[in-house]
Amino acid sequence: MIRPILTLLTLLILTTSTGQVEPTEGDLRLREADKRQSLIESSTLKGISFVSVGPTVMSGRVVDLAVNPADPTHFFVAYASGGLWETRNNGHSFEPLFDDQAVMTIGAIGVDWKDTTIWVGTGEVNSSRSSYSGLGVFRSSDHGASWQHVGLADSHHIGKIIVHPEDGNKVWVAALGPLYSDGGQRGVFMSSDSGEKWSHVLDLDVGAVDLALHPDDPDKLYAALWDRHREAWDFRGNGRLSGIYESVDGGQNWSHLSGTESGFPQGETVGRIGLDVTSADGMTYLYATHDNQDRRPSEEDDDSAALDRSAFEDMTIEEFMALDQEEVVDFLKDNKFPEKYTYELIRQQIIDGEIAPRALYDYLSDANTDLFDTPVIGAEVYRYNFDQGTWNRTHEGYLDDLVYSYGYYFGMIHIQPGDGDWVYIGGVPLLFSSDGGATWKNINPENVHADHHALWLDPERPGHLINGNDGGLNISYDNGAHYVNCNSPAVGQFYTVQVDNEEEYIVYGGLQDNGVWKGPHDYEASAQWLQTGNYPYEQLMGGDGMQIEVEPGADGAVYTGYQFGHYYRLQFREKPLYFHPEHDLGEKPLRWNWQTPIHLSTHNPDILYMGSNKVHRSLDRAENFETISPDLTYGGKEGNVPFGTLTSIHESPLQFGLIVVGSDDGRVHLSSDGGAEWIDIGQGLVDSLWVTRVCASHHNKDRLYVSLNGYRQDHMDAYVYRSDDQGKTWNRIGEDLPKEPVNVILEDPMDEDLIYVGTDHGLYTSMDGGKSFQAMMSGLPHVPVHDMVIQKRENDLVIGTHGRSIYRADIEKLRELKGLDRDLHLFALDTVTGADRWGKAAWSKWFGVNEPELDIFFYETSTENCTLDIESEKGKTLNSLSIPEGQGLQSVIYDMSIADDAVEVLTKELRKKGQALPEQGENGVNYLPAGTYRLKLSCGTESAMEELIIK
C-alpha cells in the first residue's frame, strides 16, 4: 500500500510554493567565467588529463557558416554547443578556435575577409530545450589565437552578425534576448568602432532573429523580429510583435514592412521569420520564410470523418451511447488503447459512473502530444513586391512535412546570389525551388541529417552547397543530388553516458536528435574506418537518445530509448521489448520528462525503476511494471511542454529499496521501504529549481547528494547539496564553484571524499567531501558536461558532453593523491615492455617510425624549478627532463631515449654485464634496453625516486 506522509508543512508547500530565483546579469556571468579560468590555472589536478574517445560520425548541430569568397575550401563552421572550427581543405579536417572562452554555445558568426577578423555571436537562437544562452559578442583579430569580449553580454541568444563589406569596423547584430526571462538586450544593435560602443538601432522590446544585407547597397538592411518566450512548462513561439523591418540608411532608422496592409500574416500567431535578399537583372528579390501558428480551417466531413480524440472532450453520456459500436472500436484500435479496454468495458464503466466519456480524451492527452498534433498552418514562403509594398505567398496550399508544429526550431531561407528564382528553405528536410517558391522538391538524400539550420550558396557556381544540420556538415556540387559528409570533429551533443563491465569495456551514450550509440572506450579518431568499412561506434536506435542502463555480465541487455519515456530492452538475438507504463482509463495521464529517468538496481539486475510523475518498478526486466508512488511533483502546470515530471532516480548501493528521486519542479522524495512510503525531503534546498541529479552514497546509507539547475529561469548559479541524515537536513557545498548551472554530481564509489560536479562549462572535483572544489579540465574544452560515470575496474572517469562528445580520464592517481603526506611525490610506474622496433619504421619508411611515450606522474608544491633524471643502475644520468613550471599533480612524457652524451656511459655498463646497447634507431635516437633504471625527481633540495623496469 502506498502511504505518503503529507504533513501540514508538505501540504503548504504543495499549494503555496512560488519561490522564484532571479535571472543572472551578463556582467556577473563574465566575472564568473574569469573565476573559472582562475580555478583552471590554479588547479593542482592538471596531471589528470582527459582524452576524447569520440564519436564523430553523427556530429552535432551546425548553426552558422562563414565561407571565404575568394576560396570556398576555406571556411568557418559554428556548432550550437561545440564551438567554432576552421577548415582550409574543404572540410577534410578542422581546427577548433573557441574552446576556452566564457561560453562555447554559438548563434552566429561573421568574418571580415579582408583581414580575417572573426566575430562570434554567442547563444544559439533555435530556442529548444538545450539552446544554451550566450554572453554576447566576441571578436578576434589574430585568427582565433585570442579573443576579446566586445559587449552585449545580456543578449543571451544571437541570430545574425553582418560585417560591413567595405568597413570592417562596422557590424550589425540581431540579438534575440533571453529565452526564459524578460528584459535583456533585444533587437538590432550596430557598432561602428569594432564593438567598442553599441547603438540599439531597432528597439521594439522584442528580439531580432535574422538580418539580411542587400548585396549591392550596404545601406539597405532587412530585419526579422521574433516575439517568443519559453517556460519550463510552456513555449510560446509566436506573438504580435513578430515582423519584418527595413532600413535604407545603414540601420539608423527602420520602417515596418509587414504591417496590416502588407499582405503578411498578422497578430498573435506570427511565428519565427527567416530572411534573404539578392539582386538580379536590376531587381531586388526579398524572400521570407514564416512559421505560421494560426490554425488551419477545418476540413472535417461530419458524415464520413472517423472519430478523433477531440470528439470526446465535451461528449455527454447520451452522445456516447448513440455512437456506433464499430466506430468506437476503430477509435480504440487506431489510438492503440490496451487490449483490456474493450468497447463493452468502457460502456459499462460509463453507465456505472466510474468514468465519463471525456476519459477517452484525457487518456490520450499530454502536453507534448497537444503541441505536435496542433493543426497549424506551418511553414510559408513570401516574396516582397517593392513596387506595391506588399508580400505575396509564393505557393498554393500548405508546405506540409517540413517544420510541422515546431517551426520555432527552424527559420532558414536562402536565395542563390544573382538568381531570384532559386530558393532554398530548411526544416525537415531541405527543400529547393527553381521557380521562385511556387513548387518545391526535396534535396535531402539518405546520408544527410534531416534538420537543417545553415546553408551557403556559391555565387560563382550554382549548385555548390555547404549545408549545416543537426548531423553536422555536408557539401554538394550538384545542387543536393549527392553530398559528402565532413564530420571529423567530435561535436556530438550527448545527454547521457554509460559503461558496461566487459574486459574491453564499451561506452554508451544518448545524443540530441542523433539516437543512442555504443563504442570502444579507447577509441581514437581515425579515417581508417573509411577503408575497412567498420566504424568503431554503432547506433543502437534513433530519435533523441536518452538514459541507458546495462545489465551486468556478457551480452547483458541494454535499456534505453527516446524522448518522453519511450524505452526498449535491447538484447543480442532477441526482439526489442518496448515499454512505457500507462495510466488507467479515468486517471490523469502520466507526465514524462524529455529525458525520462531509469535506474537498474545494483542489488538485483532484474529490477528496473522508471519515472514519469510517479515511480514505476519492474521486477521482471521491463516485462511488467507496477506504480510504487503517488505523484511526487507539485502536480504539473498548464502548457505545451510536459512539466511536473521526475528527472532523476537512484537506489542506494548499500540498501535495497532505499530510493531517492528528484523532479523538474524542485521536489526531492525518499523511500526507505521499496516505495511503500515516500517522504518529502526537499526542505532546505533552494526552491523551485530543476533537480538534475539525486545521488545516494556508496559509502554511507544516510548520505545523499542533490544538484539543482536554474537554467530554465536564466538563473546561473551552482547549487549542490549534501545530507548525512537521509535528507532531514541539507548542507550546501561547492560554494567556491563558479556561478554556472550544475548538470550532474557523482560520488566516487571507491573514495567517499572524492566528488565530481559537471556544469554548463566544465568539470570540478572535490577531494574533501565537498568542502572545496577545484577545476579538473586538462584536455577538456569549456563545454557543458551533462553526465558522468566511473568504470570501477579501470579507474576511468567517463563524461558525456553536450557539444564535444565523450571524454575519458584515468583517476587512479587522483585517489592515491589523498594519502600523500609530503610535498614531493613520484608515482610508481608499471613495468614497460620494450620493443626492438623503437625508432624503426612500422612497416615502411614512408609511414614514420615507432616512437614510445611513457607518462610519468608526480606531485609537487615547490616554487623552484624541477628536473627529472633517468639514471642507470650505477646512478649515472642517462637523460634529463626539465619540468614545466606548475604545482600539484602533473605528468611529463618521456620518450625512453638516451641522451647523446650518455650513450657511451651506458655502453660501458652494459659491456661489463656482457650485454650490448641495441643499434640506433632509424630516427637517429638511442633507446633504453631491457633493464632496471631509476627515476629521480628533484625540486630544489627535495627529491623523490622510483624504479623504471623495462622487460
pLDDT digits (tens, 9 = 90+) for 648-663: 999 999 999 999 999 9
Q: Which of 324-338, 467-481, 531-545, 813-827 has the lowest mean pLDDT?
A: 813-827
Pair 732, 748: CB distance under 8 Å: no
Question: Residue 147's pLDDT is what?
Answer: 98
User: How open is the CA angle 401-402-407, to the nearest 5 degrees?
Assistant: 120
Model confidence band, residue 12 (pLDDT cutoffs 50, 70, 90): very low
Whether a cis peptide bond, with omega within 30° of 0, leads into 918 is no
Cα distance between residue 132 and residue 79, in whole Å: 12
| H-assigned helices in 316-415 | 317-321, 325-334, 343-351, 358-363, 367-373
* DSSP assignment of 857-919: EEEE--SS-EEEEEE-TTS-EEEEEEEPS--EEEEEEE--EE-GGGHHHHHHHHHHTT--PPP
Q: What is the mean pLDDT of residues 503-514?
A: 96
Cα distance between residue 262 and residue 273, in whole Å: 15
* pLDDT exceeds cutoff 80 at 425: yes
Q: Which of 410-414, 827-831, 845-849, 913-917 has the lowest mean pLDDT?
A: 845-849
pLDDT tens for each residue of 428-440: 999 999 999 999 9
Q: Give the cell for residue 621.
A: 526486466
Half-sphere exposure of 940 (CA within 13 A, CB side): 9
Pair 751, 815: CB distance under 8 Å: yes
Backbone angles phi and psi of 831, in degrees to 5: -60, 135
Q: How many residues does the chain have?
A: 951
Q: Which residues pair with 854 in a beta bridge?
A: 894
Backbone angles phi and psi of 133, in degrees to 5: -80, 145
Question: Residue 667's pLDDT is what?
Answer: 98
Whether a cis peptide bond, with omega within 30° of 0, leads into 429 is yes
Question: Residue 19's pLDDT is what?
Answer: 57
Pair 536, 526: CB distance under 8 Å: no
Amino acid at site 136: G
Amino acid at site 296: R
Question: Residue 818's pLDDT is what?
Answer: 81
Pair 466, 67: CB distance under 8 Å: yes
Q: Which residues contact 528 (CB under 8 A, 6 or more apart)?
A: none
Q: What is the mean pLDDT of residues 65-79?
A: 98
* pLDDT exceeds cutoff 50 at 124: yes
Q: Which of 357-361, 363-367, 562-566, 667-671 has the lowest mean pLDDT?
A: 363-367
Cα distance between residue 842 and residue 825, in whole Å: 36
Cα distance between residue 509 and residue 800, in whole Å: 7
**In whole numbers, what is the pLDDT of the chain averaged over residues?**
94
* pLDDT exceeds cutoff 60 at 303: no
pLDDT tens for each residue of 880-898: 999 887 889 999 999 999 9
Pair 157, 125: CB distance under 8 Å: yes
Cα distance between residue 686 and residue 753, in whole Å: 24
Q: Which residues contact 544 (CB under 8 A, 6 or more apart)?
A: 495, 510, 511, 512, 513, 514, 515, 562, 563, 594
Q: Give the cell for residue 792.
A: 570501477
Q: Which of 333-337, 367-371, 453-457 has the lowest mean pLDDT?
A: 367-371
Question: Residue 63's pLDDT is what?
Answer: 98
DSSP state of 470: T
Cα distance between residue 393 and residue 750, in whole Å: 65
Q: Which of 265-269, 343-347, 671-675, 820-824 has the lowest mean pLDDT?
A: 820-824
DSSP state of 510: E
Half-sphere exposure of 94 (CA within 13 A, CB side): 25
Cα distance between residue 323 and residue 317, in whole Å: 10
Cβ atoms < 10 Å from Cβ of 584: 12
pLDDT tens for each residue of 773-812: 999 999 999 999 999 999 999 999 999 999 999 999 999 9
Helices then strands, each counted (H, E), the chain? 10, 67
Q: What is the mean pLDDT of residues 403-432?
A: 96
Cα distance between residue 173 and residue 272, in whole Å: 17
Question: Residue 822's pLDDT is what?
Answer: 82
Q: What is the mean pLDDT of residues 539-549?
A: 96
Q: What is the mean pLDDT of residues 501-519?
A: 96
pLDDT tens for each residue of 218-262: 999 999 999 999 999 999 999 999 999 999 999 999 999 999 999
Cα distance between residue 848 and residue 251, in whole Å: 57
* pLDDT exceeds cutoff 90 at 362: no
Residue where the block lists cell 536590376: 282
Q: Give the cell for residue 389.
A: 509594398
Q: Give the cell for residue 214.
A: 542587400
Q: Give the cell for residue 630.
A: 503517488
CA nearest to 941, candidates 827, 833, 864 = 864
